[in-house]
Chains A and B, each alone.
Chain A
Amino acid sequence: MTAVDNPAPQQEDSPTYRPSPVQRFLPFAIAAVVPFILGSTTENVNFWWKALITVVVLAVVARMAWVWTPRGELTHREDMRLWRTPSDRSWAAVTTFGLLVLPFILASDFTPPMDFPWATWFAVVNLVLIFAMGAAAFNLLVGYSGQISLAHVAFLALGSIVGGIVGVQWSGGNMWVALPAAALAGAVVGAISGLPALRLKHLYLLLATFGFHFVMMLVWREYLQEYFGFVGIRFKGENSPRIASWLHWLPGIDPDDNGEFIITGQFRWYWVLMPITVLSILFMVNVVRTREGRAFAAVRDRDVSASLLGINVARSKLLAFALSSAVVSMSGVLASFYIGSRGEDSFNVQTVLNYAIIIVVGGFSSIQGAIFGSAFFWFLPEWFKWAREELWIVRDIDFLSDYPSEIDLAIKGFLVVIILMFKPDGLAGLWKDVKGWIGRSLARRGP
């Protein structure tokens, strides 16, 4: 067989790669749907907001399509791009499109057949956003920097404490002030919690950080009883975050009847949570691909060899702890204000395990995996519930509806085992395979 009969498959990242017409115009096709979706939403959104979304979507799509134009050899700057290959860029365009248009779809009056749990999805999507942010930070520390830590929930609690002090107790404060305050507090306390990592590794470090978890739980309980009693902290009502009146001129801000714009309801929360999550995840992705992030990976793999490259191993470890904890604390603040109240039993060991499930299922040491993992974690129970109630045959099995939570847990555990056995790089690895497959089937064949 000659080379002409069997041309080598085109490499996605080769400079001479040419995308197929389908690939090139797919984003435009997707973007064309935007006005229809935005037009059909039931949410009371003003015209300017919809117009802004449309413009942003079109701009993103145009940008993605433009950078597809092959221009010979990639420069080093082009090679450094987060979305290097045409396939990366098209998926980034699709993701951006999805993130901007999803809330409008979820707020539309579409009724799915068989009572598919569409209505509950909005809440789940918002929870996924909060969890994705926390899980990505957790993964940065445990997966990417190799510092096994169980103090994750401790920092969610720290976020709630800072949210309580700055956002609730302090009359001049609110959630917007609490977020940077929590990031700062998380960074400082996180660096302190990372001190055992300078001496301990692996299982021993895990135990030391678990100790920190219990110390923090004690602090949380004391704080709660001192200032709030058994009812817990109420982040709702008068403590809800709102847009200050001097910002009401912004597009999309339509004050309510009382002249205020309170962040309440899934739709408004989405527009708060989505940008914060996306920006913090981008921040972490950027850290990973620049100097200090490379040092994290070096310290994880071989600390002696890292130190001989001039990396201060102790500093690098503490930096990883500080960064991760800062982001987790911020997600703690968001979770507190989004859920609306935090009580004595809001934080437990189970939550640490949930985050562990999220990052293992999503893909160890992959920030993308944290997003997949939290989507898996939150959507699966919804689908199980729907299957138990609506799905043909399955709904007739009494056993399933008698022990719903146990069965959920069992199936989740079973899937975790399956993923660990057959796809150790998790859903992120699975996604990579699927992406490669789609890319190859779309790409133009031939020499």
Chain B
Amino acid sequence: MSDEILSFENLTVQFGGVRACDAIDGHVKRGSLFALIGPNGAGKTTLVNAISGVYKPLPGAQVQFHPAGKPTEDLLSYRPFQIARLGVARTFQNLGLFMGENVLTNLLLGRYIHEHTRLIEGGLFTRRAVKRELAARQAIERVVDLLDLGAFKREPVGDLPYGVQKRVEFGRVLAMEPELLMLDEPMAGMSVDEKQDMIRYIYAAQDELDMTVFLIEHDMSVVMSIADHVMVLDFGQKIAEGTPAEMQQDERVIAAYLGTEMAEN
């Protein structure tokens, strides 16, 4: 058990009559790169939303988070902001950035859970508040350096190109220093070069910052090259799970991606 960081069992999310996720089980190993793939509408984002507390799964589900050196937490009993404070951070498929604010502000918001300046301290701008602001600033400067965001620090995020915005959002979850990093299609809509960069950054997060990465991705070639473990969803069902090489051979996976006829041929 100790090498697992996240385990979910019997996870079902229902919207009206639609089961977006149907009794899904899964185990994420600490320090690994876990990839969740599947065609459009397979329920990948819904699964992440259920884990991070945005959606409530049906009763009977179990989501357990095992932080290093701390007792196991049942994530279903927490609200989203509490889950974030436990060390589970995530990005959004269609960006969860604050478009009017500049890059620094967006990144500093990632330090919200670490630098505990109270409102009155902040208002009086006490020595302690300044010290904490500086600590937050230093932490995000490391992220800025890692992600090559130095040129954009004071630009409003809304004015930046899409690829850079994706990087800023990734930087913001890195600044949160989570144990489990959930990335919802971090490479969607990116050029080949930008994808290469992003893969490099994800590796950096996994190896240098010791984060476990839970990756949702559309691009099979990317997943096959970087993932340690792959889970495939289709129409809310888990259809296969295993190493990337196994998934490439799996008939159900090929059928889900290419259609049944192709698979029969």
A293 to B123, CA, bound (A): 9
Interchain CB contact under 8 A, B85 and A302: no
Complex Cα–Cα for A80 and B153 (A): 13
Q: Is the Cβ of A294 less than 8 Å from the Cβ of B124?
A: no
Q: Quick check: A308 and B117 within 8 Å, CB to CB?
A: no
CB neighbours of A297 from chain B (8 A): 98, 100-101, 105
Instruction: Select which of B98, B113, B133 is within 8 A of A290 by beta carbon.
Output: B133
Query: Which among A287, A295, A304, A310 is the interface contact of B96 at CB below 8 angstroms?
Result: A304
Which B89-148 residues have a C-beta within 8 angstroms of A? 89-90, 92, 96-101, 105, 108-113, 115-119, 121-125, 129-130, 132-134, 136-138, 141
Please tell me if the beta carbons of B113 and A292 are within 8 angstroms of each other in the complex. Answer: no
Interface pair B81/A294, CB less than 8 Å apart: no
Residues of B within 8 Å of A286, CB to CB, are 122-125
Smallest CB–CB gap between B110 and chain A, Å?
6
Across the interface, do B101 and A309 meet the contact criterion of CB distance under 8 Å? Answer: no
Please pick, from B84, B119, B137, B172, the residue contacting A76 in the complex, using a CB distance under 8 A.
B137
Contact in complex: B84, A291 (CB < 8 Å): no
Q: Is the CB of A309 within 8 A of B129?
A: no
Digitize B24-60: 1 where CB-to-A-CB distance is under 8 Å, 0 elsewhere.
0000000000000000000000000000101000000
Given contacts A80-B133, A283-B123, contact A309 B100 (CB under 8 A): no
Identify the stretch in A18-26, A34-42, A311-319 within 8 Å (CB) of chain B at 4 or more residues: A311-319
Whether A308 and B108, one on each chain, are in contact in the complex, defined by CB atoms closer than 8 angstroms, is: no
Say whether B100 contacts A284, CB under 8 Å: no
Contact assessment for A302 and B96 in the assembled complex, using a CB-CB cutoff below 8 Å? yes
Q: Are B122 and A310 in contact (CB under 8 A)?
A: no
Q: Smallest Cβ distance from A263 to chain B, in angstroms?
A: 25
Once the chains bind, are A310 and B100 in contact (CB under 8 Å)?
Answer: no
CB distance from B67 to the nearest CB of A (A): 15
**CA–CA, A323 and B115, complex, Å:** 20
Asked, given contacts A297-B105, A301-B101, whether A307 binds B133 with beta carbons under 8 Å apart, the answer is no
Q: Are A287 and B109 in contact (CB under 8 A)?
A: no
Is B154 at the interface (CB under 8 A from chain A)?
Answer: yes
> Is there a chain B Cβ closer than 8 Å to A13's Cβ?
yes
**Minimal beta-carbon separation of B226 from chain A (angstroms):** 24
Quick one: which of A283, A302, A309 contacts B112, CB cutoff 8 A?
A309
Establish whether residues A301 and B99, one from each chain, have CB atoms under 8 Å apart when the complex forms.
yes
> What A residues does B236 contact at CB under 8 A?
none
Point out the residues of chain A lying under 8 angstroms from B119, CB to CB: 287, 292, 319, 323
Complex interface residues of chain B between 129 and 181 (CB less than 8 A to chain A): 129-130, 132-134, 136-138, 141, 154, 172, 176
Indicate if the CB atoms of A301 and B123 lie closer than 8 Å.
Answer: no
Q: Which residues of A contact B200 (CB under 8 A)?
A: none
Is A313 a contact partner of B81 (Cβ separation < 8 A)?
yes
* Residue contact A77 to B124, C-beta cutoff 8 Å: no
Residues of B within 8 A of A301 (CB): 98-101
Contacting pair A76 B141 (CB below 8 A): yes
Q: Which residue of A lies closest to B99 (CB)?
A: A301
Q: Which residues of the other chain, A, contact B121 by a CB distance below 8 angstroms?
A: 290
Q: Specify the main secondary structure of chain A where it touches its partner.
A: helix
Complex: A294 Cα to B81 Cα, angstroms: 16
Evaluate contact between B84 and A290: CB separation under 8 angstroms: no
A77 lies within 8 A of B81 (CB) = no
Q: Considering only CB atoms, which chain B residue lies closest to A290 in the complex?
A: B122
A34 to chain B, nearest CB (A): 28
What residues of A have a CB within 8 angstroms of the CB of B134 in the complex?
Answer: 76-77, 80
Given contacts A297-B98, A308-B96, contact A291 B122 (CB under 8 A): yes
A294–B113 CB distance below 8 A: no
**In the docked arrangement, what's the CA distance between A290 and B101, Å?**
13
Nearest CB in chain B to that of A284: its residue: B123
How near does chain A come to B189, taking the closest CB pair, in angstroms?
18
CB distance from A144 to the nearest CB of B (A): 11
Q: Does B80 contact A (CB under 8 A)?
A: yes
Q: Say how far A140's CB is from chain B's closest CB, in angstroms.
A: 11
CB–CB A290/B137 < 8 A: no
Instruction: Kindly state whether residue A405 has any CB partner on chain B within 8 Å.
Output: no
B89 contacts A308, C-beta separation under 8 Å = yes
Shortest CB-to-CB span from A315 to chain B, Å, is: 9
The complex places the Cα of A284 from the Cα of B52 at a distance, in Å, of 33
In the complex, chain A residues whose CB is within 8 Å of the CB of B80: 304, 307-308
Contacts of B137 in A (CB 8 A): 76, 79-80
With the chains together, A295 CA to B106 CA distance in Å? Answer: 10
Within A348-394, the residues touching B (CB, 8 Å) are none
A298 at the interface (CB under 8 A from B): yes
Q: Are B124 and A298 in contact (CB under 8 A)?
A: no
Interface: A305 (CB within 8 A): yes
* Cα–Cα, bound, A311→B83 (Å): 11
Establish whether residues A295 and B124, one from each chain, have CB atoms under 8 Å apart when the complex forms.
no
Pick from B81, B101, B130 the residue with the most CB of A within 10 Å. B81
Q: Is B79 interfacial (CB-CB < 8 Å)?
A: yes
Select from chain A the residue with minimum beta-carbon distance to B131: A77
Q: Do A76 and B138 form a contact, CB below 8 Å, given A310-B112, A313-B81?
A: yes
Chain A positions within 8 Å of B116 at CB level: 291
Question: Nearest Cβ distance between residue B243 and chain A, in whole angstroms?
Answer: 30
Contact A290 B117 (CB under 8 A): yes
Nearest chain A residue, comparing its CB with the CB of B87: A310
Residues of B within 8 A of A79 (CB): 137
A309-B110 contact, Cβ under 8 Å, with A286-B123, A290-B125 = yes
Residues 272-304 of chain A, each 1 if its beta carbon lies under 8 Å from chain B, else 0 = 000000000001101100111111011001101
- Within the complex, what minimum Cβ distance (angstroms) separates B227 from chain A? 23
> For A287, what are the chain B residues with a Cβ–Cβ distance below 8 Å?
119, 122-123
Most central of A287, A290, A295, A305 by chain B CB within 10 Å:
A290
Is A292 a contact of B117 with CB atoms below 8 Å?
A: yes
* Contact across chains for A305 and B96 when beta carbons are under 8 A apart: yes
Q: Is the CB of B115 within 8 A of A309?
A: no
Q: Separation in Å of the B54 CB from the closest CB of chain A?
A: 6
B115 to chain A: which residues have CB within 8 Å?
291
Q: Which residues from A are CB-within-8-Å of B123? A: 283-284, 286-287, 290, 323
| Alpha-carbon separation in the docked complex, A80 to B137 (Å) | 9
| Contact indicator A305/B92 (Cβ below 8 Å) | yes
Chain B residues closer than 8 Å to A76, beta-carbon distance: 134, 137-138, 141
Leading 3 A-B pairs by shortest Cβ distance: A290-B122, A305-B96, A310-B113
13 A-B pairs within 8 Å (CB atoms) are namely A291-B122, A291-B132, A292-B118, A294-B105, A301-B99, A302-B96, A307-B80, A308-B90, A309-B81, A310-B84, A313-B81, A319-B119, A323-B123
- Other than the given A76-B134, A292-B122, 5 more pairs (CB < 8 A) read A80-B134, A297-B98, A297-B105, A307-B80, A310-B112
